[in-house]
Structure 1
Amino acid sequence: MDRDLPFDERRRCYRRIVSAQAAERAEALIEPIRESYGDAEAARLLSACGPAVLARLLPELSYALPNPARFGRYRPAALLTEAARQLRDLPASERSSWWYRWYRAVFAAARTHPGEAMELLERYAPAGHVFGLHELAPLAAAHPDRLVDVLTAPGRAAWLRYQRLPEGLLRRLGPDPAARLLRAAPPRDRSAPSVADARRIPALPPPVRLGALPEPARHRAIELWLRDPSTRAERAGAVFAADPANLAAPGLWRAVAARRPDLLDAALAGPFPLVRVRRRDWEPRHVAAYAARLDSITRDPGRPAAQRNAALRLLATSPDLGRPSLTGRPGEERDWVALGLARHLPPSEAGPLLASVRGSVSGQQQAVRLLAHLALPDGPEVLWRRWQEPDLHRDVRAAIVEAARRHPDRPGLWRILRAATAREDVAPILAAIPADVPESRRLDYGALIAAACDSPDDATAVAAWAAFPAWARYIPNPAFLERLTDLEDDRVWRATARALAVSDTPADLMTEVLRALAALGVPGRRRIELIAEIRTSNPAVS
């Protein structure tokens, strides 16, 4: 694959490979893609790879899967094997966050592998709840009694009491298991409208009477009237003929653009909604007229900013309309065009273009995000230089840290992360959980959290200790003792005490801290009492 291929073209290539299930092609590309563009892009090819490659790479790339549920449908056995591996070593206190990310994938895999999925749920479900009641039908059909046992476990009674049980789930369980579940969670409201009720389409007025409706209602009526594909072309013509102003309805404009090329001359002569449309059957003159109209809108100072930006977005993200020119545009308008073009340009062109965006703060924020997201070869260096600018707006600086945090597999971005722990810009770093980071870098990321816990800035340290429990396994020598025995500290110690109390703290470390606090007399005993109170009130702490 060409290493200077635009981002959007790479994405299309990945989709074609996965759609065709071209395993040989995917396996030949996945390592070069990973080296050139990072884990996130390589993970897009996993759904097309065979068992041997999955066994080797899935543990390294699972954190970067763009759609775990889709992967679970394509590769259910591999997904469930990896899920079991991750859950096996996961502390009970972290299971809820794990299931929040992965439950759709596990239940998608359950369609063909219900036994393995049921075993994961039985052994590792969060103690107080179960995610995804609406997605449990495969397990309900295959293992109804085992599923009801899980849902009605004593620790989940309070949660179950407030759940509205999906009718589909009850049907798939069968009479006896469903009755047992209903006894544990009585129906709360059977008078609510059903899905079938919600999907009924009201009678629609004929197109000649649409003008009597308010604009939002008229647009909705047109959309519903054109819903049937078999009559859409004919009805679109009738609605447009009744009143060309009806073209203001996005649904009609999409239908005319896609199915009535004979109406395009008239449609393009008047106002049309600034929404994306299918142009597969357009003649070159229609494409040229459309591009010219969009360009004129972007340059019309009398237009509302929202309309000009919408037209710019359509031009910038539609290469077949011709690349919009940057010349003659005011600064922020030029920046918007540059931001829209970047994903369609070769990386060698996109990098310098994004580095030149220096207008509004929001534009700069989007530019630094794209420098990382598009996996540009010079992106880390550009971001590092921007990070070092002394007068950089704090929101742009925070966006740089956030961009680095979202791509922890890129070695060139780690100097930004390490530098940020010494500043007030550490908040994006603290927002991460271990599932966001490759396993090979979690100890390194834990060191970032530990450094923030040691910050001399009280606000930073308090926030870092709040993030500590999720990272406790990856911080081998936390500074509990130093923080909790500092009697001059009247703020950070409470956050530290909570982190100690709710984390899976080793018994020997807990004993060491408690003995040191007891030796401090009354102030130390008060801190011990707070730790005990937090542990008692937190059911997740054993």
Structure 2
Amino acid sequence: MPLSARRLLRDLDQLPHPARQRTLAATACDLDADDLRVLLDGLHAGDSFARTVGLRIAVVAGDVGHVERCLAGPETALRGHAVGAAVRLGVPAVAAQVDTFPAAVRRKLYGAVRGLRRTELADPLLPRVRARFGDAEAVAVLPACSGPVVAAALPELSYAVGSWGALAHRHPVVVLDHIEAELDSTPRARWPEMGFRLGQVLGAVAAAAPDRVLAVLERTEGLGMPSAVAGVLARHDAARLLRVLLDPRRVGPLPTGRALWRALLGCADADLAALGRVLRGDQVPGFLRVLPPARRAAVYAGVLGERDLVSANVPFSVLDELPRAARAAEAERLLALRGVADDPKARLAVAARTAWAKAAPVLAEATRRSTADERAEAYPLAIAAAAGTRDPDSFGTFLASLTRLRNEQEPVRAAALTALAEAPPWLIRDADVPVVIGLVTDATEARDRSWLSDHAIRTLSTRLIREGAVSRRQALVDGGVAALERLGETAAWLDLHRLNHALPRGAEHEVFAALRPRIDAEARQGRFVVALSLAAGLGKRAWDMPELQAFVDRARRAKDDRTVGQAIGLWLAAPATRGERVEQVLRADPSTITFHAVRKVIARHRTDLLDNVFSGPLHGRFLRRGVRHIPFFHGCFHAWLPRQNARYVRLLADFARNKSVPLHERVAATRTLRGVPGSAAALRQLVRAEEVSIAESAMAALAWTDEPADVLPDLIAWANTDRARVAVYAVGRCARFVMPEPLGRMLEPLLTSQKVTSRKEAVRLAVEHRVPGAAAVAAGVFRAPSQHRDVRRAVVSACRLLLDEPVAWEILAEATTDERAVATAVVETARDAVPERHRARYAELVRAVAASTDPDTALRGLSVLPVWSRWDTGGPGVLVDLVTDLAMTATWRQAVWALAAHAGTTDDPAPLLAAARGLLAAGETGGPDRDLPARQRLLELVRVVADAAVAGPGRPLAVALSDLLTDVEDYRDAAVTLALAAAPVERADPAPLLAAHALAVTPVLRWRASRALRTRLREVVHRLPQDDLPALAHALAADAPAFALAVAQVAGTAGGWTAPLRDVLAGLRAHPDQDVRRAALDTFTVAE
């Protein structure tokens, strides 16, 4: 007899959710085609749950016809599931029906096409979506399309792409071609605006096209290095990547990390030393640790150069990374330096790194000093020095000498134990284990023991256990277990968090055995602190330890409520047993439903127990008799039966209406109704509640019912009342579930609503969802008599989605002459939100705002005008007028910035020079509130151009402006500033610096220029080859001595005063120019 729909649903009714899913899959596989058709017809004729069941069976059985039938089903949720199934089964009709889907279903369609990479569906889908729903939706399909389709569409759709990384991951070559073409067409000054997009793309394509990525990075030397790229490129071509990283023109943080440094190990020591010089001082020890020991000394020497650790700001711990002989030799060298020898702390830290025979007596004396702070500093150094010998005999002898720790203060003892825990455990001989246990015992028995000591003991014990297990030294395992046992005997609680990460596989049983006496003793007293701490710390390993699980089970009946809650959570953690165990927990005490762990398992795995929860009494230990309790569930209702959802809705609605219940609990119950299937009717009633918080919570939840389109009229009606503040946002979500045609009709009442918020949201939704006549709707709202300015602003903002409609340009043009709040909305649209084909026309609108007679409006336009400069040919003229018109005092500064940025974008100095000539020719106006306005404006222009030139792209502009001002005596200082800013100091080329120095004809100008040169050099000195700056100083010494001194000062401070630098300084100290001579004499190579 064929399986009927009624019988199947009856069989499913008593099963938990996982069993239902298995039953559906088995049914789909067992039925023949005819029986399957009968069953699916019966299910499709039923309610929404039956139709959902039928769709799941059809998907497993591969019944394409039934999936197509569900695509036209009445429920939005069913259509959403059917869309995913159709894509999975490759149903071509799904693309043809996209025009009939609401936005929410279309979003699921795009996600499924991308996730399953259905190129055969995506290619025909792209033009259809773009034509009907616009570019913003079309780009959601783009990653799933074929390469040729992406290559053809990307130039026009690139502005709308939100996730370049995802697109580049699917189509690396196509996207990289597009990025390279964009770099070709984008002025160099605007490249930083591409930085984020470029980083996403390069990170995604580095593995597929490493050579091309390196070429892009070499080309864009002014941009930062994306961290995601460096490791991949280093494994491909380490030497080439290192050249890119160390390029003096590159800005931004340097990618770091062990993985990257390991990938660079193929580079020469000198190259690695150059990398080390660019790192922060605190990163150098970690960098050396990655290198093979035999290479560390050479790289260390290259990093430090002539500097000591103090002047280089590198911690003394870097010495620990050197081989023993090199470490001792370097420590001896440092001890001979006055900067170290005269500092007691530095002297002790360095002495600890000398040969053990020399360091031991010094450290022993330091551990006996009079203050606890000094001893707390000395013990870790002594322990680390002993461990540094890498000699178990020496280390064991040292351990035996730590007899004074027993009577030490806790800060000293904790520091010593922490250092001992960090020492390599393989240094501990079997004979030393009792000594270590003695130290642990002394610490655990101390009256003033702190958590620091406990943590150190735990770390020490786990490291001993791991080392013993790996090296098969049972004595170490026993010692670690004994240490943990000592800790367990005396600690009120044990911090065993993430213990599973520190133990080798199988060692958990020995740890449990060591702690078993403590666990047994606690259990006899009804306490389970250690047992639960161990179970939590072992994580998944505890699931396969029956004896430990037995203690967790007993803890469920402990007297302490917190203990019970923790025990229940741990007992239900194992997936294999949680279903059976949760039934035991609930049967033993129904009030345990108050625990999240119980609710979670019931809601998703043992849904058959929901009937008991909803109908049976829940009183027990955690709920007194007579207390009404409704457990709150979230995000699990898809796994429930319709009757369970209906019962839960009734319970929550009754609870929310019960005025004897505290208001906050009623509000929580109302919010919990969100997303429960079949809750719409209950929420409609609660919307009329007297309490505002309940009414508004219900209104917000209405948007999350199973059919949001059905409640949209209700919400629109409320959007014209005082509830508009909630209703309009709920309307926004419901609109995603309605087709554009009916949505346009539904939104009409909102367009004329009394509430400004409602009118704004209605316009936005009409345009965003492309309702019929959206452009005309926007124009009507914008031009409505006495329309509120905020609504007009909303229309202007929405017009960016309608730029293919002529009426949208009419609205935008009208907005540029509107009041300030409306006009500025035009310039708030980002350039990247406007298609390339419309940017020239939009740039005219931005210029119109910038030229507004209202200064505040003009300032907003001027702030963004440079972004549009590539497409705006008339902008320079407006800006020159604003800069040179001395009667305009409110906007000139922003105009100067915009003019310089525009010139940098177009590489055309003519507007800059025109403005400078105009200001030079302008007469200086007097007055009590103004002072040399033309000069102030010209100097501001010089400052902005010079700042831009330092970054690189604006250097030709600085040279041109400097040439103009060179012959103007009163602006010689500005000419020098510009010339120096244009000098490529990263190349260490003396010619531009000599030219700049020649312009500085007075001592004041030369020393101002020297100060600016020092500032620039400090930014690049660590990336330059070590010999470049000494050579540059030597080349400048004869004709530009002030500059030579500036170069020597920066190079000597950064890399140490090498012999060439000392020679240059010696020559300058004997220079005939007394200003040069005095400055050189005041420059010291060694601090006294």
Give the TM interval when normalised to the shorter protein. 0.7 to 0.9
Q: Please say if residues 859 and 894 of structure 2, whose CA atoms lie closer than 8 Å, have aligned partners that are also in contact.
A: yes
CA contact (8 A) 1:258 1:280 kept: no
1:263 partnered with 2:609: yes
State the distance in 2 between where 1:66 and 1:221 align. Answer: 46
Gaps of 5+ in 1: none
Q: Identify if the C-alpha distance between structure 1 residues 354 and 417 changes in structure 2 by more than 3 Å, giving closer, same or farther.
A: same
Relative to 1, partners in 2 of residues 1:170 and 1:454: Cα closer, same or farther, differing over 3 Å? same
Corresponding position of 2:468: none
The Cα of 1:532 is off from its aligned counterpart by: 0.9
Q: Tell whether the 8 Å contact from 1:369 to 1:403 is kept in structure 2 after alignment.
A: yes
Instruction: Please name the residue that 1:498 is paired with.
Output: 897
Matched, 1:517 2:919: yes
Residue correspondences, number: 527
Residue in 1 that maps onto 2:260: 169
The alpha carbon displacement at 1:465 in A equals 0.9
Shift of 1:442: 1.2
Q: What's the counterpart of residue 152 of structure 1?
A: 246
> Quick check: 1:91 aligned with 2:187?
yes
Note the 1:419-498 alignment, pairs <5 A: 419-423=814-818, 424=820, 425-478=822-875, 479-498=878-897
The CA distance in 2 between the partners of 1:245 and 1:310, in whole Å, is 28
Cα offset, 1:317, TM superposition: 3.4
Shift of 1:22: 2.6
Letter in 1 for 2:946: T
Given that 1:133 and 1:166 are in contact with CA atoms closer than 8 Å, whether structure 2 keeps it comes out as no
TM-score (norm 2): 0.44
Please report the RMSD computed on the Cα atoms of aligned residues, expressed in angstroms: 3.9
2:224 pairs with one of 115, 125, 129: 129
Aligned amino acid, residue 234 of structure 2 = A
2:744 alignment partner in structure 1: 351
Give the TM-score taking structure 1 as reference length: 0.83
Question: CA 1:164/1:9 → structure 2, altered by over 3 Å: closer, same or farther?
Answer: same
Higher alpha-carbon deviation: 446-455 or 254-263:
254-263
> Which secondary structure does the structure 2 equivalent of 1:356 belong to?
helix
Preserved CA contact (<8 Å) 1:73 1:109: yes
Give 5+ residue unaligned stretches, structure 2: 1-95, 287-316, 318-496, 502-534, 540-551, 616-628, 654-672, 674-678, 925-932, 956-1088
Task: Report which stretch shifted further, 342-351 or 105-114.
Answer: 105-114
Evaluate the alpha carbon distance shift between residue 335 and residue 510 of structure 1 in structure 2; reply closer, same or farther with a 3 A threshold: closer
Give the corresponding residue for 2:779: 384
CA-CA distance at 1:238 after TM superposition = 6.8
Does the residue aligned with 1:476 lie in a helix, a strand or coil?
coil
1:529 pairs with one of 939, 945, 948: 939
Post-superposition offset of 1:208: 6.8
Aligned mates of 2:558, 2:710 — CA distance in 1: 41
TM-superposed deviation, 1:36: 0.8
- Quick one: distance in 1 between partners of 2:695 and 2:844? 46
- Cα deviation for residue 386 of structure 1 reads 2.3
CA distance in 2, matches of 1:401, 1:156: 40
Identify the residue that residue 813 of structure 2 maps to in structure 1: 418
Shift of 1:56: 1.4
Equivalent AA in structure 2 for residue 458 of structure 1: P
Question: Paired residue for 1:140?
Answer: 234
Report the alpha carbon displacement of residue 34 of structure 1 after superposing the two structures with TM. 1.0
Q: What is the distance in 1 between the residues matched to 2:781 and 2:175? A: 40
Comparing both chains, which one has the higher relative contact order based on Cα–Cα distances under 8 Å and sequence gaps of 6 or more? 1
Q: Does 1:63 align with 2:159?
A: yes
Q: State the Cα deviation string for residues 286-320 of structure 1 (Å, max 9, x = none).
A: 34445564343564366976666555455423435
Residue number among 177, 200, 212 corresponding to 1:104 in the alignment: 200
Mapped partners of 1:198, 1:321: distance in 2:
48
Give the letter aligned to residue 512 of structure 1: A
Which SS does the other structure have where 1:108 is aligned? helix
- Is the 2:104–2:737 contact (alpha carbons within 8 Å) kept by the matching residues of 1? yes
Q: Give the Å deviation of 1:459.
A: 0.8
Using the alignment, how far apart are the partners of 1:326 and 1:418 within structure 2? 35
SS of the aligned residue for 2:710 comes to coil
Q: Which of the residues 69, 74, 78 maps onto 2:174?
A: 78
Report the Cα distance in structure 2 between the residues aligned to 1:402 and 1:224, rounded to whole angstroms: 53
**Please, which of 144, 148, 163 is the counterpart of residue 48 of structure 1?**
144
Partner Cα distance (1:499, 1:198) in 2: 60
Q: Deviations over 1:258-283 (max 9, x none)?
A: 323213335567545474x2444422
3-state SS of the aligned residue for 2:178?
helix
Distance in 1 of aligned mates of 2:763 and 2:153: 29
Rounded Cα–Cα distance in structure 1 between residues aligned with 2:741 and 2:828: 32
Deviation of 1:152 (Å)? 2.4
Evaluate the alpha carbon distance shift between residue 321 and residue 533 of structure 1 in structure 2; reply closer, same or farther with a 3 A threshold.
closer
1:457 Cα deviation (Å)? 1.3
Distance 1:169 1:234, change over 3 A: farther
Q: What letter matches 2:800 in structure 1? A: R
Give how far 1:407 is off: 6.2
Post-superposition Cα deviations, 1:217-275, rounded to whole Å, max 9, x if no partner, equal x8x999998777656656766776766575685x8656543323213335567545474
Residues 443 and 475, structure 1, Cα contact 8 Å, conserved in 2: yes
Asked if structure 1 preserves the Cα contact closer than 8 Å seen for 2:130 and 2:138, the reply is yes
CA apart distance, 1:213: 5.4
The answer (yes or no) to whether the contact 1:46–1:54 under 8 Å persists in 2 is yes
Larger deviation, residues 301-310 vs 78-87: 301-310
> Following TM superposition, by how much is the alpha carbon of 1:8 offset from its aligned partner in structure 2, in angstroms?
1.0
Change (3 A) 1:433 1:327: closer
The change in CA–CA distance for 1:459 and 1:327 in structure 2 (over 3 A counts) is closer
